[in-house]
Amino acid sequence: MAVKYLNITEADFLSGKRIQKFLSLERALQLLENRKLWFSNPAKWLDPFERRFIDGEYDGGKPFTWHNRVYCMCITPIATSEASWKAYSENDFAVKLEFARQEYVDILNRTCGQPGVMDVFFGTMDYQQTKDIEKPLSKIKFSDGAKLPISSKLFKARLLLLKRKAFKYESEYRAIIVKKDTSNAAGISVDIPNILSLVQSITIGPTVGDEEYKMIKKHLISEYGFHNNQIMQSRLYKASARPKIRK
pLDDT tens-digit map of 61-100: 899 999 999 999 999 999 887 878 887 776 778 999 999 9
The reply to whether 67 falls in a domain is yes
Q: What are the percentages of helix, strand and coil residues in the chain, rounded to 5?
A: 35, 25, 40
Domain count, the chain: 1
Chain mean pLDDT for the chain: 93
The reply to whether 92 falls in a domain is no
pLDDT score at 209: 87
Distance (Å, rounded) from C-alpha 98 to C-alpha 200? 5
Q: 158: closest CA among 2, 15, 4, 6? A: 6
- At residue 241 the predicted structure's pLDDT band, cuts being 50, 70 and 90, is low
Scored b (16 or more CB within 10 A) or e, 34-65 reads eeebbbebbbeeeeeebebbbeeeeeeeeebe
The reply to whether 118 falls in a domain is yes
The reply to whether 228 falls in a domain is no
Please state the pTM of the whole predicted model: 0.92
The reply to whether 134 falls in a domain is yes
The upper half-sphere exposure of residue 121, i.e. CA atoms within 13 Å in the direction of its Cβ, equals 21
The reply to whether 142 falls in a domain is yes
The reply to whether 233 falls in a domain is no
Structural domain that includes position 29 = 4-76+99-190
Query: Reduced to 3 states, what is the DSSP secondary structure of residue 10?
Result: helix
Q: Where are the beta strands (DSSP E) in the chain?
A: 4-5, 18-24, 36-40, 70-75, 94-100, 117-124, 126-128, 162-164, 173-179, 187-191, 199-204, 231-233
Q: Is the pLDDT of residue 240 over 70?
A: no
Phi (first) and psi of residue 153, to 5 degrees? -60, -40
Mean pLDDT of the region 104-111: 97
Residues in Cβ contact with 232 at an 8 Å cutoff, skipping those fewer than 6 apart: 201, 202, 203, 204
pLDDT score at 208: 87
The reply to whether 22 falls in a domain is yes
